[in-house]
Structure 1
């Protein structure tokens, strides 16, 4: 039979993927499907498997599978069979051989820990093909795509998480002479025992996520199910979520008022992605189901020009060639006004002259120097116009109006950018800025927490140019929860200090200043919750962070304390990026 099977495979390779090959019942359809995939992926049909990168010996899969594999290894002693466990990538992460002879035989074909047995790499084989087909199967002899495996037979089954996603595969293999249909039943049983351990080790909230994932997901629509700590995503949903977007979306959704409706449609700032969110409540726990859709790039919408909006208009004044000549960005100090203004600066060749002038109430502003810079073609950023006194308002107005008129007349190509907190500007300065119009408006970080994860990453890149430090999700959550009364300036100073003080590569919540570690969740706390939160903080301080001692001081059980810590935003559990 082996020769007949090999001949069919060779004929398929000769005629190509579109060719028709008669199997005459010699080769099962699923094997032919796998051969076709192997050919299309240019899998290696002759050489032994290649070594992967280092395997994770402490993964969730290994922790669940190791006791099961150990138990079955003793049951299968002297049978000549070997147990293999692969992760979802097809890498063998565990092997339990019955004797030394079996180990040496398997080592010769690289059927060992650390080698790649994905279908893409080595073609049709039990570990890889069972995950692709998502079913248990038996592959024997020349049914393997790789000739190095032609003397072996293996039964394999995928291993799935409680949500139904494939996390790896389990295989029972041995010499072709040992091939037996009972191997398939045993493999299924071993796989089910591993899956049961995965279920029993899962947290209740993880099981709730898994149930929602099974209920709301499909193979086509990008879908993510998440709570404050965990994420489940289907393959189309993976590009839309990472640690930063997870923290940002959780804060947006958790602080939203859901009393009006159970669904919310939103478009995160700076993206062309629409998110349809649904809140799911399981007991006292809340999680969200998110569906993503790409939108066509949209033009900036007209901005609210009502007196209370903080934005008068959305105008970039241009010169005769249509190049922005005056750009005014409005917002409170420290909210990223200067960065936004520079992003609106017209495109310039490298090395184009640029100067910043900061208005300081205790010093005279060099208005004549600013005029001269603009006349000579230098771009100027005038920062903190709210500090211009009424006595200097005439100079500021002259600078703006003269530059605007000269630009429109084609006499200047330079750009003037201005940042201002309109509510704090003197009347004369406010009037001239209203006359010119506002190109953009920035808001305080307390009003836009969804900006914080991306800002943290950007600032971290600036204050830590070597890229040595990363931030744990728990620490990032603290940054999002804090109110940042000093806005971006405070955030930059905090990160710069933390980077200097933390010796390890991962910044964890315990490394942050105390006020950040204890930042309350953005949702409104009741008076009782606020009092309870203060009491827990005091107890933890008195117990030097020991939760068992703190629980005793509070007169509650440790499990109750952990639950209240999570609910009140005091959970300090860490997971490094």
Structure 2
């Protein structure tokens, strides 16, 4: 009988543990609380907990439809032949084979009879819909992605009421070379048809996909990756591998060397990458560190696949970086990267020439600090800084008074002004604009164009615009910024170790300098003086994931980091402390990029 999702409300009860899908199975339970709940199989209990946090008491959560661009990923290429072959085995059977990407978005659905397809359509288990746990709760696709291993979710084990008519066996598909999870193969049928063969077949399909992807990888790529993994296992040093199409570096390289040094190491590695015999060279890095690079070539037969380099720090050079020592910067502005220096110089030049200027950029990039610092180079002129967000209707009156007093003017957040305010401000500025230097005041606006209203009429009065880059575009300036911000906080006795500094330079910093300042404030609350190591940084700074985390994911990450710190890095003890399986905490450490 084909499952028909019920239309009436479902009464959620705690699911029964399935000993077939987890060797640590527990007896059935009938209550979502108390000792019965604690006897649930660990992965299932944690999955339901995550689902409750994400969905609350919603018993009929809906999968979101995601408009997806046409792609030709390595997973989809492998699936075309592999799944078409396997689908023959379940043709006309009441079971459907479903392939998803790593986000749980359904890519394809094959096999099964028409009645089953109709039932699956009713719960949106169809191409384009996302079956992550955060969308529909515990299920064979989303939970397999969370747990990172094959599992079977039977009937009432589903969090969502309408899904309890089904049984789903999901097996993650991993890349055969990198080990990254690419998606899930899921076998879904009516709950009454469930059996252990579902999980076996899903696991078989995932293995076949890995085999096909490995066949598609070039022989040279496989050789260089094998040599790289072997070097990482045998060595406790930084390791880099370079092939024709592949570049890899281990976590020690990223921790011990900042971005400019990493780029220099890669360039030197490429320089010697064509050598067919082992080579050892000494190279001086941008930071002044001298590194010893020991290169070993990798072959497949007689063909050179690339090479693996083991890196040893030698000594720090006594030379000073001329680029930092010889180029003056305004007071209170830290950073010496070419991109940042170009931006600073553009603002300084505009201020000196009294060219009216628009500073564009994301919130927190330092637009206001840049204006103040540039203006300090012309101490004979006063500067009034007015925030359009805070002043509202009083902005025009304040601006008029400051201009009458002969002050230069900075108007912050001009993108929040409505049409009336923009027109009035343009009228107000016409008189000062007509004056000639040195009587003409310097006027500068800041805005974030992505949030901007139509400011074109006003912008015509400003001959120049400068975009202040987000922090992620000049991460080389992190060490200088950290020192400047710590000094501003009064933490003059606090420094960051090279590993901690490099860790900060690996983060995305979507909140820019404002976010960095908050992270350093949190660090200062944890440690007042001395050298800060990675384990003292806030939890958010010990995770290198570049994706935006939901609040639930951020809380989960912080809980893992705190548990690891409490148990001195013991993953087993940390997992037990937060009710998570050992396999899950290992996967979460990789997923969140947590640095131990």
Range class of TM-score, shorter chain: 0.3 to 0.5
The structure with more radius of gyration: 1
Q: Output the TM-score relative to the length of structure 2.
A: 0.44
State the TM-score, normalizing by the size of structure 1. Answer: 0.45
